[in-house]
Amino acid sequence: MILEVVATVARPDPAALRAAIADADLRVLVMCLVHLTGELRWLEPPYRPVRDVRLVADPQAGYPPEVQAEIREAMIALLARGVGAPPIEDPGDELLLRMMSVCLGEPVPPEYLPMMREDMGFASGDPVWREPPDANRLAGTDVLIVGAGLSGLALGHKLGKLSVPYTIVERNPEVGGTWYENRYPGCGVDTPNHFYSYSFAPNHGWKHYFSPRDELQAYVERFATDSGVRRNIRFGCEVTGAAWSETDHRWTVELRTAQGTSQVRAKVLVAATGHFERPSVPSVKGADSFAGPLFHSASWPDDLELDGKHVAIIGTGASAMQIV
């Protein structure tokens, strides 16, 4: 049966392979050659890329044409004949740091290693118990998380893996936080998607390098469902106050829903509301007498019509640039 499967694996179409390699970032191809061949010569001149600090670096990486061609042909030949188990499954700290430094064209401090090893899947970022606590102790360490944005969902996911009981309260009817609320024209990330997603929940189907809001929101909603975190979220539930008791060492948290107010008790209270939980509206002289539509970008009206109108935008941050 195994032989049958191996025999039916299709070789890559040569034309499609060449087209894909032609568009690839050469510094990434060099690192892939090291990983897939085990040959460290790819980390030496003339294969060292030029340092490039732009957000989107030149994919040619500063190589002369003949070196560009050599790197591409080496990768095409490798993929055309098929790749088995890579000779370097885990580069270890020393080699990984060397690869990172060569790739960026500058020395990378070793403090980045733990984060990069986790992001690349060489190390697990999941917390583990040295000795699992008994069930009663776990049950008494219930956590209340305020906010079902990216941070709240990630914390819930990690707590669930430790069997720590938790509840997330979210005032909106859906997860996403900032990405749920912001719907202005052009809303999206200015950070590449592979940096703006969970390392423990990679998405290989991004349609854009810098995703628009709807694609990001869909990713967050899908994660909440697939991870099982959604089962622990109370939507339409807003925290209005909290008090800590020194007597029994627990929080009493006041909640407001469409049905009224209530209280819950929790051992641990985590505010995962983020920096943009409430729009910051500046005081502008004359705003109170302005006759036209006036709103914060985070509260963009769904039925807004701008045809034939002159628009004034206050602020020059990322949101203003995207809207303009």
Q: Which one has a higher pLDDT value, 275 or 285?
A: 285
State the pLDDT at residue 8. Answer: 42
- Mean pLDDT computed over 190-214: 89
pLDDT band at residue 77 using 50, 70 and 90 as cut-offs: very high
Averaged pLDDT of the chain: 92
pLDDT band at residue 2 using 50, 70 and 90 as cut-offs: very low
State the pLDDT at residue 196. Answer: 86
| Own/partner long-range contacts of 272-281 (Cβ < 8 Å, ≥24 apart) | 272/145, 272/146, 272/147, 272/149, 272/151, 272/152, 272/155, 272/168, 273/146, 273/147, 273/149, 273/177, 274/147, 274/149, 274/151, 274/177, 274/178, 276/177, 276/178, 277/147, 277/177
**Cα 221 to Cα 223: distance, rounded to the nearest angstrom:** 5
State the pLDDT at residue 10. Answer: 57
Q: Which of 297, 299, 322 is nearest to 189 (CA)?
A: 322
Q: 221-265: per-residue pLDDT in tens? A: 999 999 999 999 999 999 999 999 999 999 999 999 999 999 999
Q: 9-33: per-residue pLDDT in tens? A: 456 788 999 999 999 999 999 999 9
**Cα 54 to Cα 248: distance, rounded to the nearest angstrom:** 54
State the pLDDT at residue 3. Answer: 37
pTM: 0.81
DSSP string over 85-116: S-S-S--HHHHHHHHHHHHHTSPPPGGGHHHH
H helices of 82-209, where?
A: 92-104, 113-119, 135-139, 150-161, 178-181
